[in-house]
Amino acid sequence: MKKFNEFIWETHGIHAGTEQDHVKHGIDRLEDIVDKAIDANHPSITFIIHSPRLTSFRYIAERDTNVKFIRGNQSYLNYPKRIANLRKKYEGKINIKYGIELEWMGDDLGLQWSRSKIFQAEEADYVIGSVHFSPEGLPYDGSKEEAQELLKIRGSLEAYWDGYFNEMIQMIECFGDMIQIIGHIDLPKLNVEMPEALVNFETSSHPLANKFRTLLEIIADRNLSLDVNMAGKFKGVGVYPIQNILRRAYELQIPVCVGTDTHHVRYYGVNFKESLAYIHEAGYQNYVSYSKLIPEKRTIFDDHELKVKYTVLNKGIEMLNQRLHNKQRRIIPDFSFGGSFSEFLDIYKNSTGMGDYNAIRIRKSDKSITVTNETPQVSKDKVKGLFSEHLDKPGVISSLFNTLASEGINVETARLKSNNDGTAVAFLSLESDNGNVKNAIDFINGTDAGLFKNLTYKENAVLPNYYRKGVYLLEVDGVELKLALSQKVIITKHNNAPGVLLILLSALASKNVNIIDFRLGKLNKVGYSALAVEGNSNVINNLLTKLGEQYYEADLIEFHSR
Ligand SMILES: [Zn+2]
Ligand SMILES: [Zn+2]
């Protein structure tokens, strides 16, 4: 039996840093907790903040203070900024995530209110949808007295839970597009019993059991994930949710995330390992965490090799999702695995095999991404094309393409490699030799002599090794590219005609964006390019929107997962 990890990539993590609130809720200083995580050698830490509530939704303790505004707007509004500062302060030391726990307060004012709060937290990594309050204004996780009051209003234990699940379903209907995760799905057990019909919901014919089965199916169909929350264990009522629920979630292939929902620094790290053992008991071998709303897959096992493979998988998922619109991002993709990644075939139920092909392919709608961490072999075939040695700075490649385009020459494939000493080398294969290559070379040697050290057209040449170690983008939509990934990558799909690529290269050159690596591919009349670049993301995103109709797709991919 493999060992479980000591560390978890939390989602429902630590409620902390709301120092200015009238009623204290997670009061510790953020820095203290980050320091504690760093001392424990943890790669990441996750903060979470509640969205502010309407004053009609208050716990008794809050009513007693007679303060109108609870869990102040101010601390909520300032939170993204404080996290940004924290990320800056601890850069390189630890990865800091943060998310929002969105309150369900009914579909009237509560819904509009919550929608408005989401906009104020643009940089969040994820949003959990939670029901803490009944429409009657009474909390499910407040005092025993409040729970008893609600029980009296609703009349029976079954009606109590039925109301809670109705609110969950309504929340998903209304919030489905704003949240990624369903918070503590059996929260009411904190204060009231779970009726028999719910505990045995898998087989029970009680309407409550049916309601709950439906809720789980809705969660699966909406591609939401389930919060496995250790606060219940901490409070003595058992992990949210109970094993029966988790087992059904596993059967429905609902992803789970794990978290301690901790409110004090002294409890940081408590129950990390237990959470992994708990989901494993239900069948899970992995869970998800989130960066910028995109799910990352995590293994429950303390297995270095496996973690490396998950890193490759996550990079592929991030790339594919960033080629898609927000709405499509939440849809769980299809997977194919080959070679050393074949062990994922057991973990992902509906995945397909790719034999010895040592790669991961991730598909969604009409797009796919194929990645690997195996360095590609250098082909021994003889090639013909243009070899260049030049200065490694913005605009040089653009200038080369510019000259070739002016002679009517289309570049078929391109390889680039920085020597990391201010110089770079490139190889371009040309679509057809129209006899003008020599003119192009002469032109460049005449006008750009300072930029180019050597520019030669060779036939029967051996291709030098341009590959270095790293994670490789092998294919986009099945078209071979073999680009080594760096922090920022541009992927385009465009009309493969002379001059089209020049638009992109000129645009990048005009904004001083340097191209570190570059690959071209094509499928009939459609060209694909993948560029590893260095430059300001806002500037790049802005110019990518202006490339024109010849570009069917142009996306800047940035990697946040680790
Ligand atoms: Zn909660
Ligand atoms: Zn919470």
The pLDDT tens digits for 110-146 are 888 888 888 777 789 999 999 999 988 899 999 999 9
Alpha carbon of 14 to ligand 1 centroid (Å): 11
- Given a contact cutoff of 8 angstroms between Cβ atoms, the answer to whether 425 and 389 are in contact is yes
Q: How confident is the model at residue 530 (pLDDT cuts 50, 70, 90)?
A: very high
- Given a contact cutoff of 8 angstroms between Cβ atoms, the answer to whether 426 and 416 are in contact is yes
Contacts of residue 360, defined as CB under 8 A and 6 or more positions apart, other chains included, come to 312, 313, 316, 335, 336, 337, 341, 344, 370, 371, 372
Q: How confident is the model at residue 19 (pLDDT cuts 50, 70, 90)?
A: low
Contacts of residue 179, defined as CB under 8 A and 6 or more positions apart, other chains included, come to 102, 127, 128, 129, 172, 224
- Given a contact cutoff of 8 angstroms between Cβ atoms, the answer to whether 171 and 104 are in contact is yes
Alpha carbon of 495 to ligand 2 centroid (Å): 49
Q: Which ligand is nearest to the CA of 187?
A: 1
Alpha carbon of 356 to ligand 1 centroid (Å): 46
Q: Which ligand is nearest to the CA of 25?
A: 2
Alpha carbon of 384 to ligand 2 centroid (Å): 61
Q: Classify residue 349 by its DSSP letter.
A: T
For residue 408, the tally of other CB atoms under 10 A from its CB is: 13
Give the pLDDT confidence score for residue 433 in this predicted structure: 66
Give the pLDDT confidence score for residue 342 in this predicted structure: 96
Alpha carbon of 131 to ligand 2 centroid (Å): 11
**DSSP string over 237-297:** S-SBS-HHHHHHHHHTT--EEEE--B-SGGGTTTTHHHHHHHHHHTT-SEEEEEETTEEEE
Give the pLDDT confidence score for residue 436 in this predicted structure: 86
Residue linked to tokens 């292939």: 253
Question: Does residue 437 have a pLDDT over 60?
Answer: yes
Alpha carbon of 103 to ligand 1 centroid (Å): 8
Specify the 3-state DSSP secondary structure of 300. Answer: coil
Alpha carbon of 89 to ligand 1 centroid (Å): 29
Using alpha carbons, select from 308, 327, 445, 320 the residue that is nearest to residue 389: 445
Contacts of residue 147, defined as CB under 8 A and 6 or more positions apart, other chains included, come to 138, 140, 188, 191, 192
Alpha-carbon distance 70 to 235, whole Å? 24
Question: Does residue 241 have a pLDDT over 90?
Answer: yes
- Write the secondary structure of 45-108 as one string of H (helix), E (strand) and C (coil): EEEEEECCCCCCCCCHHHHHHCCCCCCCHHHHHHHHHHHHHHHHHCCCCCEEEEEEEEECCCCC
Q: Which ligand is nearest to the CA of 184?
A: 1
- Given a contact cutoff of 8 angstroms between Cβ atoms, the answer to whether 471 and 371 are in contact is yes
Residue linked to tokens 């109705």: 166
Question: Does residue 184 have a pLDDT over 90?
Answer: yes
Alpha carbon of 472 to ligand 2 centroid (Å): 38
Alpha carbon of 27 to ligand 2 centroid (Å): 14
> Could you give the C-alpha distances from 510 to 54, 343, 514, 553, in angstroms and in order?
50, 46, 10, 20
The protein residues having their C-beta less than 5 angstroms from ligand 1 (an ion) are 130
The pLDDT tens digits for 206-219 are 999 999 999 999 99
For residue 343, the tally of other CB atoms under 10 A from its CB is: 12
Alpha carbon of 127 to ligand 2 centroid (Å): 11
Alpha carbon of 261 to ligand 2 centroid (Å): 5
Alpha carbon of 327 to ligand 1 centroid (Å): 25
For the residues 7-11, what does the mean pLDDT come to? 97
Longest Cα pair distance anywhere in the chain, in angstroms?
90
Q: How confident is the model at residue 414 (pLDDT cuts 50, 70, 90)?
A: confident
Q: Share the mean pLDDT of the chain.
A: 91
Alpha carbon of 12 to ligand 1 centroid (Å): 8
Question: Does residue 1 have a pLDDT over 80?
Answer: no
Give the pLDDT confidence score for residue 459 in this predicted structure: 86
Residues in the chain: 562
Give the pLDDT confidence score for residue 363 in this predicted structure: 96
- Given a contact cutoff of 8 angstroms between Cβ atoms, the answer to whether 392 and 418 are in contact is yes
Strand 411-418 relative to strand 382-391, pairing:
unpaired
- Given a contact cutoff of 8 angstroms between Cβ atoms, the answer to whether 427 and 390 are in contact is no
For the residues 519-546, what does the mean pLDDT come to? 94
Strand 382-391 relative to strand 452-462, pairing:
antiparallel
Sheet of 472-476: strand order equals 352-353, 334-337, 360-364, 367-372, 472-476, 479-484
β-strand partners of 553: 493
Q: How confident is the model at residue 22 (pLDDT cuts 50, 70, 90)?
A: very low
Q: How confident is the model at residue 18 (pLDDT cuts 50, 70, 90)?
A: low
Contacts of residue 19, defined as CB under 8 A and 6 or more positions apart, other chains included, come to 27, 29, 75
Alpha carbon of 324 to ligand 2 centroid (Å): 30
Helix segments in 285-392, DSSP class H: 304-322, 326-329, 344-347
Q: Which ligand is nearest to the CA of 139?
A: 1
- Given a contact cutoff of 8 angstroms between Cβ atoms, the answer to whether 427 and 538 are in contact is no
Alpha carbon of 488 to ligand 2 centroid (Å): 34
Give the pLDDT confidence score for residue 529 in this predicted structure: 95
Output the six-digit token pair for 266: 């002294």
Using alpha carbons, select from 400, 451, 448 the residue that is nearest to residue 427: 400
Alpha-carbon distance 416 to 479, whole Å? 18
Q: Which ligand is nearest to the CA of 10?
A: 2
Amino acid at 127: V
Question: Does residue 23 have a pLDDT over 70?
Answer: no
Question: Does residue 70 have a pLDDT over 60?
Answer: no
Alpha carbon of 6 to ligand 2 centroid (Å): 22
Alpha carbon of 91 to ligand 1 centroid (Å): 29
For the residues 419-439, what does the mean pLDDT come to? 85
The pLDDT tens digits for 325-373 are 877 887 889 999 999 999 999 988 889 999 999 999 999 989 999 999 9
Give the pLDDT confidence score for residue 54 in this predicted structure: 82
Alpha carbon of 510 to ligand 2 centroid (Å): 47
Question: Does residue 27 have a pLDDT over 70?
Answer: no
Give the pLDDT confidence score for residue 222 in this predicted structure: 93
Alpha carbon of 102 to ligand 2 centroid (Å): 9
∠ CA(159), CA(52), CA(183), 5° rounding? 45
Name the E strands within 108-183: 126-130, 181-182
Alpha carbon of 24 to ligand 1 centroid (Å): 15
The pLDDT tens digits for 257-312 are 999 999 888 899 999 999 999 999 999 999 999 998 889 999 999 999 999 999 99
Give the pLDDT confidence score for residue 137 in this predicted structure: 87
Residue linked to tokens 């700075």: 393
Alpha carbon of 64 to ligand 2 centroid (Å): 22
Alpha carbon of 257 to ligand 1 centroid (Å): 14
221 membership: H or E segment, kind and range:
helix 207-221
Alpha carbon of 47 to ligand 2 centroid (Å): 10
For the residues 380-398, what does the mean pLDDT come to? 88
* CA distance between the termini of the chain: 26
Q: Is the dihedral of CA 334, 363, 513, 447 positive or negative?
A: positive
Output the six-digit token pair for 181: 């995760």
Residue 260 burial (10 A CB sphere; 0-12, 13-18, 19+) = buried
Give the pLDDT confidence score for residue 431 in this predicted structure: 75
516 membership: H or E segment, kind and range:
strand 514-523
Alpha carbon of 12 to ligand 2 centroid (Å): 6
Give the pLDDT confidence score for residue 283 in this predicted structure: 96
